[in-house]
Amino acid sequence: MKNLREQIVSMSEKFGSRLIGEIGNASIKIGDQSRGACFFLAAYEPKIPLELLKENIED
Amino acid sequence: MIFKQIFEANLTEKFANMVTVKLNRHLKKEGLELMKMKLGVEIVFINVTKFLIVFTVAALFGLLKEALFMSLIFGSVRKSAFGLHAKNSIVCTLVTLLMFVGGSYISHSIKLNNYLIFGIFAVLNFLLFKYAPADTENHPILGRKLRKKLRKEAVAVGILLMCLTMIVPNQLIKSLITLSVCYEVISILPISYKILNRGYKNYEKLERANS
């Protein structure tokens, strides 16, 4: 019984960290693509870090 | 330095920071990767919250399908043409509501024939060719190659939408597409920037400083 509970906990932990990893990587991809496109459809836009935009000159 | 930048922020940014920090506990990214992650979170958060409000109001007025369609068309041109943004979130929500819900409402009473559509789109595409992409103080478009590519894309989408508008037999769809492209073109005009006292061609200063 205890073994089963441990298995469930470890499985959910694995799933959680994998999900977080996927969300994080997807965010990085969106952030990366937004350097060369306008992704803010609604009319408010936060400041994009210059360091990211400078990569466009180098590309 | 990066963490200092990340923590000087408003409410939207605070939320994005919170999520980014939580995500980064697992991913352990640094520097540019971390900035990209935060930006990605912000993009999703801002668009989801804004459009949740806009589409809820549109649904209350029975204009959900029209507002969804308008935002899709507007987004397809804006992606490469860029254009003006509101300075804060409340103004942004109001403008977006007015554009998509108000636009959906008036589209029902606009009647356009193909000659008129051709004329309007000829002007719109010319303006896209001349003024797209129009950057902002918050997002200067650095790199000549990138600007050229975005201009080409914007005009191509404009022409594609003109053809689509002329082919579609439905009057409502014709006016929804035309109005959406008009909104986008208005947001890239130098006169709009001047009226709202906003910086135009923001890339110039930065590129000069870098060269």
Please report the pLDDT score of residue A57 as a whole number: 65
User: Are A41 and B71 in contact (CB < 8 Å)?
Assistant: yes
Interface of A with B (CB under 8 A): 17, 20-21, 23-32, 34, 36-57, 59
Instruction: Please name the residue ranges forming H helices in B89-202.
Output: 89-97, 103-107, 114-131, 144-167, 171-188, 190-195
B15: chain A residues, CB-CB within 8 Å: none
- What is the SS3 string spanning B7-42? HCCCHHHHHHHHHHHHHHHHHCCCHHHHHHHHHHHH
Check if the beta carbon of residue B74 is closer than 8 Å to that of residue B177: no
User: Are A49 and B5 in contact (CB < 8 Å)?
Assistant: yes
Q: What is the dihedral of CA B162, B163, B168, B170, to 10 degrees?
A: 20
pLDDT > 90 fraction of chain B, expressed in percent and rounded? 54
Local structure of residue A44 (DSSP, 8 states): B
Instruction: Please name the residue ranges forming H helices in chain A.
Output: 2-33, 50-58
Please report the pLDDT score of residue B4 as a whole number: 45
- Binned at pLDDT 50, 70 and 90, residue A14 comes out as confident
What pTM was computed for the model?
Answer: 0.84
Model confidence over B8-25: pLDDT tens digits?
A: 456 777 888 888 888 888
Give the mean model confidence (pLDDT) for residues B67-77.
94
- Binned at pLDDT 50, 70 and 90, residue A58 comes out as low
ipTM value for the complex = 0.77
Check if the beta carbon of residue B85 is closer than 8 Å to that of residue A43: yes
Please report the pLDDT score of residue A59 as a whole number: 56
Rounded distance between C-alpha atoms, residue A20 and residue B66, angstroms = 35
Please report the pLDDT score of residue A42 as a whole number: 67
Interface test mutation site (partner A, options B11, B39, B138, max chain A beta carbons within 10 A): B39
Model confidence over B148-192: pLDDT tens digits?
A: 999 999 999 999 999 999 999 999 999 999 999 999 999 999 999
Q: What does pLDDT average to over chain B?
A: 88
Q: Is the pLDDT of residue B113 over 60?
A: yes
User: Are A42 and B46 in contact (CB < 8 Å)?
Assistant: yes
Please report the pLDDT score of residue B6 as a whole number: 45
- If you measure CA to CA, which chain B residue comes closest to A28? B37
Q: Is the pLDDT of residue A4 over 60?
A: yes
Please report the pLDDT score of residue B32 as a whole number: 85
